[in-house]
Structure 1
Amino acid sequence: MKHKKKILAFSVGMSLLLGGCFNMDNTNHKTNKAKNEQTKETPEEKYAREHYVPVQEYTGQGYTLRNGEKTDKIAKAHRDEIDKAVKKFFLDNYKTEVIVHNVVGAVDGASVFVESVGEPHFYTYAIVPIDIDEEKVLTDQVWSQEGQVEDSIAGALYAMIFDEEIATLDHYLQTFVNNHPVIGKRIDAIANVGANGYSTPYYYINTIDEAFDSLFKTYIQNPNLSKDEWKKQLTRNDFDPKGIILTIQLYMKEPNIEPNKAIFDQIVSDIENMDGLPRGSYTVILNDNNVDKKTAIGTKDNSLERSDPNDIIKH
């Protein structure tokens, strides 16, 4: 937003010149006042300007966590230490090699966003405690939120086991996006601030069925099973479709356009009637073009959503 310069009146000792400056000041004051009235923002417009960014531009910039200002600076100064500690944490505790994409300060620590190497493929995070007074990163105390990584691995194994059905869903969504004015999130945004387990630009997967707990335990005991061997560990009949959630989330391609109801209804209808999709519970969300850069969330009051208890069940 353009900033208006204040007009300073200088005393120059000559009445004619003083009068000229005075008249100029009054004229500019009226002009500036008129401009200010025309450009006055509502609280909603101010929030949107300060928080929102087009989804196709968002890579995670501006993402913040509560009370993370001090820890963020400390974490950035100790980035190499954090990277090494988090990689070791995932190898030791989850038998998984990861790439560290981003570190964001939080209360008493930093959230570290990672991506697994190879399959099962997923995005998640760990937490590194930080002693603010000592400005010390406690790399021997890395931890993860209960169930977060376990869910990410289980969902990724599900996608690996049902790869043909996942390919059907991927092909449908890519074709739909190509033929309609909608888009998904950027991969670098998913890597930097996503942490939603198995994720693509168009959807992510969460697990809540006990069958996936068993699948995760099998992975920890033997993470090197082949894909064919994994396919023997879980069949479509081994879990309740309500026990796995596939959240499809798309955005309008153009700015300043409300989510299109006809497009939303088409996606819902397609998912309801399509054969060959992965077994599970489907949520469908269509947002406008904006993402809140501080939270990485695109869902707002104007978003169109089909979800629990009215989610789409595919058996």
Structure 2
Amino acid sequence: MVRQNKSIKYVMGISLLLGGCMNDSSTPKEVKDQYARVQDYTGEGYRLMNGEKNDKIAEGNREEVEKAVKAFFMKNYETGVKIHNLVGNKEGVTVFVEATGPVHFYTYAIVPFHQGTEDRAIGDVQTQEGEVERGIREGLYRLIFEEEFKNLDSYLESVVSEEKVVGRTVESLQNVGGSGYMTPFYFMSSLNSDEAIKPVYELYMKDHQTSIETLKQAYNGPAFKADNLRINIMLFMEEEGVQPSEEVMERIATDIKERSDFPKGTYRVAVNDNGVHKESFEGFKDNSIEQEVIRGE
């Protein structure tokens, strides 16, 4: 069934979570300029409300900010990160990072600035509650079900090569994604209540050198519930001015139902037009279509 959903948003642009929000005061004739072709979008134009001043402060102190963020992730998560982008927000700067270890994910940190001054509160690095932990869980799913995810990746690459649809750019994921395990074609959502991955997460956090085989053995398969792992497929029409294809959406949804070699979970298959909102990274709009598919309990 096709759903044109105005209330369910694939909020990969995390403006509200990062201490800012999108300025929605545009007039209708300005709407077109707010969007970029998904093939061209690398994060250019992304912003958080009232962040312009802190953008400049952050750039002027990039070395200190990056050093503090890297130290934070190493101290709290024993995870090395590569810093891709700094975006000013109302209270300071949001720093988009990518984990460099075998457990791969994107996330972000927030470095606040003292109000009323240009002093930096370096060392007071923060993260949105549960976001890094979610990214680690998703990265662990990808690690211990490597073959299943490789099959999904290969399948979506074939869809893109055969149909007139595309995914996001890797650069946009790096610069403004920040939402756990992401590829150009999908992102994941792992709930904190997931008892299946919990022992894997706990074992990994105790010892990052734990072998993949040992992590696989720790996975509690009988406790898995499809709703706790959501795989959100996001594709875009290749050409501008073309409405989302119901045929492509139905093809993917049907194949997910019929294939037995994809990861288990709740899939949301969304097809959008060609545009990405520059300021928020959002691709899901009023004309987007989506369908849910559940694969295994």
Give the TM-score normalised by the residue count of structure 2: 0.87
- Structure 1: runs of 5 or more not aligned: 1-41
Is 1:245–1:280's contact at 8 Å kept on the other side of the alignment? Answer: yes
- Structure 2: runs of 5 or more not aligned: 1-25
> Whose helix proportion is higher, 1 or 2?
1
1:300 to 2:282 alignment: no
Is 1:52–1:292's contact at 8 Å kept on the other side of the alignment? Answer: yes
Q: Which residue of 2 aligns with 1:38?
A: none
Matches within 5 A, 1:1-315: 43-49=27-33, 51-208=34-191, 209-307=194-292, 311-315=293-297
Q: Which runs of 4+ in 1 moved over 6 A?
A: none
Is 1:242–1:313's contact at 8 Å kept on the other side of the alignment? Answer: no
Mean alpha-carbon deviation: is it higher for 236-245 or for 195-204? 236-245
Post-superposition Cα deviations, 1:33-55, rounded to whole Å, max 9, x if no partner, equal xxxxxxxxx94342122x10000
Q: Which amino acid aligns with 2:31?
A: Y
Q: CA RMSD in A?
A: 1.5
Report % sequence identity: 40
| 3-state SS in 2 of match to 1:190 | helix
Q: How many residues align?
A: 270
Is 1:71–1:132's contact at 8 Å kept on the other side of the alignment? Answer: no
Post-superposition Cα deviations, 1:63-108, rounded to whole Å, max 9, x if no partner, equal 0112212211111111111111000000000110000000111121
Q: 1:265 to 1:236 in 2, by over 3 A?
A: same
Is 2:69–2:125's contact at 8 Å kept on the other side of the alignment? Answer: yes
Q: Which amino acid aligns with 2:195?
A: E
Whole-angstrom CA distance in 1 between matches of 2:65 and 2:211: 31
Q: Which residue of 2 aligns with 1:12?
A: none
Bigger relative CO (Cα 8 Å, ≥ 6 apart): 2
Whole-angstrom CA distance in 2 between matches of 1:260 and 1:110: 38
Whole-angstrom CA distance in 2 between matches of 1:79 and 1:52: 28
Is 2:226–2:294's contact at 8 Å kept on the other side of the alignment? Answer: no
Whole-angstrom CA distance in 2 between matches of 1:44 and 1:270: 39
Give the TM-score normalised by the residue count of structure 1: 0.82
Whole-angstrom CA distance in 2 between matches of 1:210 and 1:226: 20
Whole-angstrom CA distance in 2 between matches of 1:58 and 1:273: 33
- Tell me which structure has the larger Cα radius of gyration: 1
Whole-angstrom CA distance in 1 between matches of 2:243 and 2:262: 29
